[in-house]
Amino acid sequence: MVKGLYTAWTAMINEQHRMDVATNNLANANTTAYKKEGSSQQTFREQLALKIKDTSEPGTYPRREGYIVPGVRIGEEYTDWTEGPMKNTDNTWDLAISGKGFFAIDYTSKTDNVADHIRGQRTTMYTRDGNLTLTAAGELVTQDGDFVLDTEDQHIVVDPTKDAQVNTHGEIIQDGEVVATIGRFDFEDYDTLAKYGENLYEPTVEAVRTTAPNAVIVQGFLEQSNVSVVDEMVNIINIQRHYEAAATLIQTADDTLGKAVEQIGRIGG
């Protein structure tokens, strides 16, 4: 019976984690280029169950009863890299990537944080969020003021007084001339990318960066989150039901243990 309490407890911990992931997805349903996350669950290794010292039957030798599973544990978390729908904005510096690939950002940490970044630390981050803007000096930056990098990992600077067009290769054209080219990058294995914030990704030491020649940049559009609000709501309801079932099991086991203790006490008396 105590094993039942532990098994139900592990189920509740797992469902709580799944709820955290699902609610975070729901909270970012309107975040530009957000990629939804999921988590898997794994069972603990099966254990051999033996009956020992049972005097209710002839003989008290240990006897194999089969295998039991002592509960579940949180497995691996994963990111769904499915491309989100495109939203037309008609803004010059709203850019979306069609296909695999990322923009490179010269990111500056705004505060000390749990990712071991200190205030003012500069790191090259990657994102599919193309909600960009120009500074008064003509520097192409994100909404947080971080510089967008070109194919040579340099800041992009254009003439802010002139109209600009961005073609599918990321080339910025002013007065009929290419004045800069936005970097399009990719990675051999997305598992080597660590998520940072809502839609930024930091490469780990195992990451191998490549160019993304097949990534198509679409001007005047933004990639939306790939989260389906309806699917996440259904998922949350299922998680709640699983959590409640585990809680009911704990209550049942507790009541049974209470009755057993009470009856044993009466028999002993």
Q: Quick one: pLDDT band at residue 112, thresholds 50, 70, 90? A: confident
pLDDT > 50? residue 48: no
Mean pLDDT score across all residues of the chain: 87
* 3-state DSSP of 133-186: EECCCCEEEECCCCEEEECCCCECECCCCCCCEECCCCEEEECCEEEEEECCEE
Chain segment 174-186, per-residue pLDDT in tens: 999 999 999 999 9
Please give the model's pTM, rounded to 2 decimal places: 0.81
Distance CA 159, CA 162 (A): 6
The one-letter amino acid at 10: T
Distance CA 150, CA 161 (A): 20
What is the arithmetic mean of pLDDT over 253-257?
A: 81
Distance CA 147, CA 113 (A): 20
pLDDT > 70? residue 17: yes
Distance CA 26, CA 33 (A): 14
Pick the more confident residue, 168 or 40: 168
Distance CA 139, CA 146 (A): 10
Whole-number percent of the chain with pLDDT over 70: 86
Least confident of 69-83, 146-160, 202-216, 243-257: 69-83
Q: Residue 11 phi/psi, 5° resolution? A: -65, -40
Chain segment 80-110, per-residue pLDDT in tens: 999 999 999 999 999 999 999 999 999 998 8
Is residue 219 classed as helix, strand or coil in its secondary structure?
strand
Distance CA 209, CA 223 (A): 22
